[in-house]
Amino acid sequence: MDNFNFTHIKSDGTTLENKEMETGHLFNCIKMWYNHLAVIVGFQEIWFNKKNSRIFHTWQTEPQKGIDILKKYMYEFEKRKDVNNNINQKYCLMKNFLTGRIHYELEKKMREQGMEAWEFSETNILKLVEKRRKNEQKQLTNSS
């Protein structure tokens, strides 16, 4: 994905080019896409209160589309200079979960303290979504 420009469609149907979006609105879009993924794959949720079945459906049926949307929002957000510290901290936490940095840092600290680090080979979001989908299918099969 080499083109990070996009058109955002607001809930009232109006459209905004990525550069026209207010930084706070952009952050809320990132938060919404991240949190729906977090529910599916077991990441920590960040300030999550609005659930949208369409976003859940996208993550479950077209995870690559969800990744592409989230990356475009994040790319635009990282160009912004007007981000307050509180929002930036939450954004960095989401980014760390998405990039696997939190796991890497935990593993590093464990090794430094002489503890055995666990393996976490499924850092790829697509693999995590697929794993969740298979578990749900098993549960449906086992319950019938």
pLDDT in tens, 32-69: 999 998 888 878 888 877 888 888 888 888 888 888 88
Range of the domain at 63: 7-143
The pLDDT of residue 43 is 82
Domain assignment of residue 65, yes or no: yes
Q: In the chain, how many domains are there?
A: 1
Tell whether 111 is covered by a domain: yes
Is residue 26 predicted with pLDDT exceeding 90?
Answer: yes
pTM of the full predicted structure?
0.70
**2 in any annotated domain:** no
In a domain, 60, yes or no: yes
- What pLDDT does residue 2 have? 52
**Residue 30 banded pLDDT, cuts 50, 70, 90:** very high
pLDDT, one tens digit per residue, over 70-80 is: 889 988 998 99
Whether pLDDT at 141 is above 70: yes
pLDDT surpasses 80 at 144: no
Let me know if residue 125 belongs to a domain: yes
CB 114 within 8 A of CB 134: no
- Domain assignment of residue 90, yes or no: yes
Cβ neighbourhood burial of 96 (10 Å; 0-12, 13-18, 19+): middle
CA distances from 21 to 10, 27, 85, 141 (A): 10, 10, 19, 45
Q: Is residue 134 part of a domain?
A: yes
